[in-house]
Structure formats: structure tokens, C-alpha cells
Amino acid sequence: MAGELSKPKDAILPIFAGLGGMVFPALIYLLWNSTGEASHGWGIPMATDIAFALGMLYLLGDRVPKSLKVFLTALAIADDLGAVMVIALFYTSDISIISLLVGGGFLTVLVIANILGVRNTLFYGVIGICLWLAFLLSGVHATIAGVIAALTIPANVKIEDKSFIKKMKDLTNKFESSTPNNVTLVTPDQLHILDDIRHYSKAAMTPLQRLEHSLHPFVDFVVMPIFALANAGITFSNSFFDDLGSNISLGVIFGLVLGKFIGIVGFSKILIKLNLATLPEGVNWRQIYGVAMLGGIGFTMSLFVTNLAFIDSSYILQAKIGVIVASLFCGICGYLTLRKA
């Protein structure tokens, strides 16, 4: 993604569009719920669910340009980082200074390890879990620990592309010219060559990408479904339409549907009008409208914030109904808009 957003103007647009997509949903929610416990839910429509939004976009395949996928990814990441900060600052319990200091100690270890060039992903995983536990016990929501830990994992390679290609060619030529032993076991010489190939292949990847790649299947097929199901908890009863028409539910729906669209499109138009940013290459405004609609898919993150925002079970149910309805509506409308665009 860094290569796709190499120009400052390319990077500014999704970041500020993501910011607009957080501010307007919160303001619209507060128009419906300005007092009492209901007002605590202003953070619910702020988040975009990266996985589901990108999933809808990738269903379109080559119908959308790669630059649009990069734009939505950057926008959703900026949006989610903002949501995590909101959770950490506004949806936390009493703060334990001692636990925070312990967490700071683990964070210092991670930073020093990065500076010293430690590239073992297991090390960062173990210390990162310790950091997460410290934040969990501190009262600051533990989601912030995951973001901080990720920032300390090295994102640089030990061998550049050209050098890696040359090494691979040399090693594959050596392997091809080595004398086979005509059995299933490789010779000691071949084993050393294969070991060198593995070493250079590992050096050509960043530890951050290696960790992300190894966790990707587990997160997509285990963590995300469990997380979504655990936070959904919606029961359909005779009062469903009453709950759907409540101020909390309507605030969430209009926040996600209208707030996200107005914030993302509005900020994008202002930045481009002021010549502070440019549309991604090959992207038109209709596609931006479609992406803005996909930004209204809050789902897992919004459901997560719902459980932090409310104590009253009826408020929680009303907010969850709003999240599900708005996410389905935005997903379908965004998909159809992009398909026709």
C-alpha cells in the first residue's frame, strides 16, 4: 500500500476522508440522542469494519481499479485507528497507573528490540501479549495495546529485491547442478542450498508481514466469526420494529448510512476543491460514492463499541439492531453502486 500512496496528496485524501467518516456519524447520532445514557453511544457509528467493507469490494474483482481498493484500505485503517483511540480515551474504566507503568516497560522492551534489529516474530508476539495484559488490567481498553505493539514490529527487509533475485538464481543454479543421490532424501550439499534459500526468503520479508500472513487464516476463519457472533446477540421478537424505531437505533442507522457518506464524500470534495488532494488514478466520483456507502458497514467494530457504551440491555439491543440494518443496507447499496460504476 505504501507504494500506491507514495505521493503526499494520495495519502491525505483517505486519511481525512476517514476522519470525516468518523465526525459526521457521531454528530448525527447525537442529534437523535443528546442526553442520558443514550448519548454514550455516539462512538458506535464511527467505525468501519475493514474486513467486511473490503470483502464487498473484492467481490467486484476487476470491475474496480486497484487504486480504489488501496483507497478504501487506507480509509478504513485510518477510521479503525481513530475508533481504537476513541475506545481507549472515552470507553475505559478507572485507570491503574501501576499497570500502565508495567505496560510502558513492555513497550520499551519492544521499541529497544526494534532498534537493535530483533526480527523474531515469536518474541514480539510474547511481549505483545504481556503488553496487552498490562493494558487490560490498567483500565485503558486493551485494543490500544494491539495497535501500539504492531507499530514496534520491524517493517523493513534485510535484503532488497534485486539482491534477493540474484541470490535465488545463484542458489537454484547450484541446486540444479548438484549431484542427486537418486533417493527421496536430499544430499547434504542440497540440504545446505535449501537452507540458504529459506534464509534469504525469510530475509526478503518483513517480520510484520510474516506475522500478519501467518495469522491471517486464523483471524479470518476463527477470530472474526467468533468475534462477530459473540458481539451480535440479537433476538428477534414482537418488539423488533419498536426497537428499530427507537432513537438509539435510528441514530445508529442514520449515523452509519448518512454520516459516513456525508463525511467521506464531503471531506474528499473539499480537499480536492482546495487542491490539497487528488482522486486516486483511474477512480471516478461514482466509485467514491460507492466506497463511502461501504464505509457505513460498521458491524463487528460497532457491535464491539455498543457493549462498551451501554449498561441497559434494551439500549444494547436497539443499537445492535441499528448496526445490523445499516450495515446490510450500506453493503448492498455500495456493492450495486460500484457494480454499475
pTM exceeds cut of 0.85: no
What is the residue type of 158? K
Residue labelled with grid coordinates 533417493 = 183
- Alpha-carbon distance of 141 to 145, in angstroms, equals 8
Q: Does the pLDDT value for residue 192 go beyond 50?
A: yes
**264 three-state secondary structure:** helix
**333 three-state secondary structure:** helix
DSSP 266-307: HHHHHHHHTTS--PPTT--HHHHHHHHHHTT--HHHHHHHHH
pLDDT of residue 266: 94
The tens digit of pLDDT for each residue in 282-321 reads: 888 999 999 999 999 988 888 888 888 898 888 998 999 9
Burial of 282 (0-12, 13-18, 19+ CB in 10 A): exposed
With cut-offs at 50, 70 and 90, classify the pLDDT of residue 1: very low
Burial of 135 (0-12, 13-18, 19+ CB in 10 A): buried
Q: Residue 164: which residues within 8 A CB-CB, separation 6 or more? A: 200, 203, 204
CA dist 132 → 95, 136, 231 (Å): 15, 6, 20
Sign of the dihedral defined by the CA atoms of residues 70, 222, 79, 109, in that order: negative
- For 57, phi and psi rounded to 5 degrees? -70, -40
The tens digit of pLDDT for each residue in 68-125 reads: 888 888 888 788 778 878 887 788 766 788 988 999 999 999 999 999 999 999 999 9
**Half-sphere exposure (CA, 13 Å, Cβ side) for 114?**
21
With cut-offs at 50, 70 and 90, classify the pLDDT of residue 2: very low
160: Cα separation from own chain's centroid: 27
Check: CB of residue 67 under 8 Å from CB of residue 282: yes
Residue labelled with grid coordinates 424505531 = 245
The mean pLDDT of 10-38, rounded to a whole number, is 89
What is the residue type of 60? L
Tell me if the domain spanning 8-91+237-340 has CATH number 1.20.1530.10: yes
CA dist 80 → 11, 48, 298 (Å): 16, 7, 10
With cut-offs at 50, 70 and 90, classify the pLDDT of residue 9: low
Q: What is the DSSP letter of 220?
A: I
DSSP 32-72: H--STGGGGGGGGGG---HHHHHHHHHTTGGGS-HHHHHHH
**Taking the domains of the chain in order of start, what are their residue ranges?**
8-91+237-340, 161-203
Which of these, 95, 112, 189, 107, lies nearest to 148 by C-alpha position?
A: 107
Comparison of pLDDT for 13 and 236, the residue scoring more: 13
pLDDT of residue 237: 62
